[in-house]
Amino acid sequence: MRIEDHSLPIGETIHDQVEGRADFVVRRTYGGWFKSLMESESFDSYSGKYVLAKLLNTSSSIVWWHRLHPHAGAFVYYNPKDRYFPDFVALDTDGVHWIIEGKSEKG
């Protein structure tokens, strides 16, 4: 990953994690991710991605996780011409790598 793919926008600060949807701000940068490969992360949905990151971050079965932003170019071909851009990759305590897609309550 190039460093410019994960840089804090000018004027933006890293915010503390929030406990509920009412305090969540789309694309705001949140810190406190001790199992993430990055110190801070931003999310485009609360229930689909932010809550999933919090679960990964606190699971005793997860060694590390990484948020895959579409602009970073991480994708998997699922047929000869179409690509899938997953939301996360994680490593569990059994050494298994997981490709994870978060879905919001809306589906």
Per-residue confidence in pLDDT tens, the chain, 107 aa: 444 456 787 888 999 999 999 999 999 999 999 999 999 999 999 999 999 999 999 999 999 999 998 888 888 999 999 999 999 999 999 999 999 998 877 75
In a domain, residue 57? The reply is yes
In a domain, residue 1? The reply is no
* Cβ atoms 89, 101 nearer than 8 A: no
Q: Quick one: tokens of 33?
A: 């991710």
In a domain, residue 106? The reply is no
Max Cα–Cα distance, the chain, nearest Å: 42
3-state secondary structure of 63: strand
Range of the domain at 89: 13-100
How many domains are there within the chain?
1
Residues in CB range of 69: below 8 A, 6 or more apart? 5, 6, 42
